[in-house]
Amino acid sequence: MSKVSLVVDGYLVQAEPGETLLDAARRAGVEVPTLCFHERTGTRGLCRLCVVEVEGWGRPVPACATEAQPNLVVRTETEALAALRRVVLELLALETDLSHDAGTQTLLKRYAAHPQRWSAPLADRREREPVHDNPFFVRDYAKCYTCRRCIDACGEGVQGVWAYGTTGRGHAAVPGTPLDLPLPETPCVFCGNCLQVCPTGALVPLEELSLAEGGLS
């Protein structure tokens, strides 16, 4: 199959057929910001930080979920996109404990985000108590922004075990276990995939946690 030629931020890019705009941008050396996208879990299209403008199309489209097509003219950094990303990042930082999430903190700086301008948090995310229900790791959902990578890694994306699912709606949506059971009572096999794909530090091995806290626990 022949390559797909398109323009990303002024660079002519030759993408492989089937590649996304996110892949195409990487070929041009452009790193489009994204929080939820994960190659192995198949998670995509939720955080909307990677939306890019395509000339002649209406609304911006998620780069992680849009296939590269011949002759597209794509812009990944415009004033409008920066403003959109700034608002999403600000609300995210206002509502979520991002203290263990270096990646998002870098993006907050890159987009000059000021979460305080949106006054007080409205979701009760930060009030969530950490779940200690197994000998291996803590589930601290005050730090979770529900990107669902853990759910996809556990379910249809990788492991096919289904120890997790999304519970609740709107800003109250959060990963949980079937019937709210403790993890050891679910099909969980403690493979550790969910910890590996968690970008926020909401899922932390107990070992790491005790080291970080000076071995107190």
Q: What are phi and psi of 22, to 5 degrees?
A: -65, -45
Give one word for 184, left, alpha or beta, with left for phi > 0 and alpha for psi -120 to 50: alpha
Verify binding: residue 191, other proteins, rule CB under 8 A. Answer: no
Among the residue ranges 5-13, 105-113, 114-122, 195-203, the one whose residues contact other proteins (CB under 8 A): 114-122
Cβ-based nearer residue to other proteins, 137 or 145: 145
CB of 94 to other proteins, least distance (A): 8
- What are the tokens at 85? 């990303």
Pairing of strands 137-139, 73-75: unpaired
Least Å from the CB of residue 32 to other proteins: 14
Instruction: Name the one range near other proteins by CB under 8 A: 69-77, 135-143, 158-166, 195-203.
Output: 158-166
Name residues contacting other proteins, limited to 47-86 (CB under 8 A).
47-49, 51, 59-60, 62, 65, 80, 83-84, 86
Could you tell me the smallest distance in angstroms from the CB atom of residue 24 to other proteins? 17
Q: Supply 124's token pair.
A: 């009760």
Q: Which helix (H) or strand (E) segment is 15 a member of? A: strand 11-15
Burial class (CB in 10 A: 0-12, 13-18, 19+), 134: middle
Query: Measured from the CB atom, is 172 or 189 closer to other proteins?
Result: 172
- Find the binder of other proteins among 178, 182, 184, 205 (CB under 8 A): 178
The helix/strand/coil state of 35 is coil
| By CB under 8 A, residue 33 contacts other proteins | no
Residue 128 engages other proteins in binding (rule: CB under 8 A): no
Binding site for other proteins (CB under 8 A): 35-36, 44-49, 51, 59-60, 62, 65, 80, 83-84, 86-88, 91-92, 95, 117-119, 122-123, 145-146, 155, 162-173, 176-179, 186-187
